[in-house]
Amino acid sequence: MESNILVIYTGGTIGMIQDPVSGALTPFNFDALYKHIPVLQNFNCKIDTYCFEPLIDSSNMNPMFWVKLAGIIEENYEKYDGFVVLHGTDTMAYSASMLSFMLENLNKPVVFTGSQLPMGVLRTDGRENFINAIEIAAAKTDDTPVVPEVSICFENRLMRGNRTNKFNAENFNAFLSGNYPLLAQVGVHIRYNHQHILKPNFKKLKVHKNLDPGVAILKLFPGITEAVVNSIMTIPGLKALILETYGAGNAPTDPWFLQALSRGIKSGITIFNVTQCKGGSVEMGKYETSVQLGGIGVVGGFDITTESAIAKTMYLLGQGHTGLTFERLLQTPLRGELTIE
């Protein structure tokens, strides 16, 4: 049976081609998709397109954009078997993470992809990424989608969206899933790792559009001053702080530092401890330098990425969760975004 796929172009490098006269980069005409990429006609699927107007550079991503993107998927959910989101690479991991939380009971593929070079450039990686994403979004077994979750397809690898980081600004292999196995590897065949892919629950899609941006990130570094920490902890309206610590969740033990965090927690700010490392997990209490964090009420984030932690806190706060319930949900895998040790 033929699959129907909706390609949503939000902006980014992948959708640009070079004008043959001026040499300037201009947006790709997705109405002429089959003309530019004729091999798509060999796929057993029908492809429709939706282009954001105006197009959005990924550096300008924000909650309003995520709400609009989730709304487009919601409006078209029953019409299509899968979705491919063309997105700038710089904040793709943030958007894929956020959509994973906003789209509860997702039972169809939402595959993010992009490129390091524009589609119209000779050595572009965009063409291959795009074709792979289409094939994965259309893949079914017994009329059930093979990858019914939000993912990122890049450089012949398929990764869970809320497990990724962009770690390279130059190589085609730009994304890393440091704490979770690949969902698929693309070679002569697409090898799906079915045991690592979320299973469909066949419940009705619920789209959550209330997001609370009252969050911030504090990245620790040697020599961080009391003034810097206090300036973050006293931001008006701050409800949650992502604390990027060293290694397995370690932080300074200076009294002023712990006191600043403790004051923030007592004032109602939830502090979520995530590691700066691209692989590995926060293990509160493994070293003496993290024991005191747990003692004052800092919440351990296990192996969640910073991108996913930001998305999850905005999502949960937007649902009205506070206090102990908020903390419990932060440490609960909701969309496969973390592994509890």
- Domain for residue 336, yes or no? no
Task: Report the number of distinct structural domains present in the chain.
Answer: 2
Specify whether 193 is located in the same domain as 220: no
Longest dimension (CA), the chain: 65
Same domain, 186 and 245: no
One domain, residues 164 and 242: no
More confident of the two residues 296 and 33 = 296
Same domain for 270 and 199: no
Q: Is residue 341 assigned to a domain? A: no
Per-residue confidence (pLDDT) for residue 117, from 0 to 100: 81
**Residue 325, domain member (yes or no):** yes
Q: Which of 13, 164, 245, 306 is catalytic?
A: 13
Say what the pLDDT of residue 127 is.
82
In a domain, 340, yes or no: no
Domain of 39? 3-207
| Span 208-244, pLDDT tens digits | 999 999 999 999 999 999 999 999 999 999 999 999 9
> Token match 């003496």: residue?
288
For 7-66, write each residue's pLDDT tens digit. 999 988 787 776 666 766 667 667 667 767 777 777 788 999 999 988 888 889 999 999
Residue 13 a catalytic site member: yes
For the chain, the average pLDDT equals 91
Highest mean pLDDT among 146-150, 152-156, 164-168: 146-150
Q: Give the CA distances from residue 189 to residues 135, 157, 184, 185, 216, in Å, rounded to whole numbers and listed in that order.
A: 11, 12, 10, 8, 42
As a three-state string, the secondary structure of the chain is CCEEEEEEECCCHHHEEECCCCCCEEECCHHHHHHHCHHHHHCCEEEEEEECCCCCCHHHCCHHHHHHHHHHHHHHCCCCCEEEEECCCCCHHHHHHHHHHHEECCCCCEEEECCCCCCCCCCCCHHHHHHHHHHHHHCEECCEECCCCEEEEECCEEEEHHHCEECCCCCCCCEECCCCCCCEEECCCEEECHHHCCCCCCCCCEECCCCCCCEEEEECCCCCCHHHHHHHHCCCCCCEEEEEEECCCECCCCHHHHHHHHHHHHCCCEEEEEECCCCCCCCCCCCHHHHHHHHHCCEECCCCCHHHHHHHHHHHHHCCCCHHHHHHHHCCCCCCCCCCC
pTM of the model: 0.93
Indicate if 18 and 150 belong to the same structural domain. Answer: yes
Residue 19 exposed, middle or buried by CB count within 10 Å (0-12, 13-18, 19+):
exposed
pLDDT recorded at residue 42: 74
Same domain, 202 and 230: no
Same-domain check for residues 148 and 290: no
Are both 121 and 236 inside the same structural domain? no
The verdict on 230 and 188 lying in the same domain is no
pLDDT tens, residue by residue, 170-218: 777 788 899 999 999 999 899 999 999 999 999 999 999 999 999 999 9
Position 53 in a domain: yes
**Domain annotation covers residue 80:** yes
Distance from CA of residue 67 to its chain's centroid? Answer: 14
- For 297, other C-beta atoms within 10 Å of its C-beta total 15
The residue-averaged pLDDT of 150-156 equals 95
What pLDDT score was predicted for residue 305?
96
**Does a structural domain hold residue 339?**
no
In this predicted model, what pLDDT tens digit does every residue of 95-142 receive, in sequence order?
Answer: 999 999 999 999 999 999 988 787 767 777 878 899 999 999 999 999
Lowest mean pLDDT among 53-57, 192-196, 254-258, 302-306: 53-57
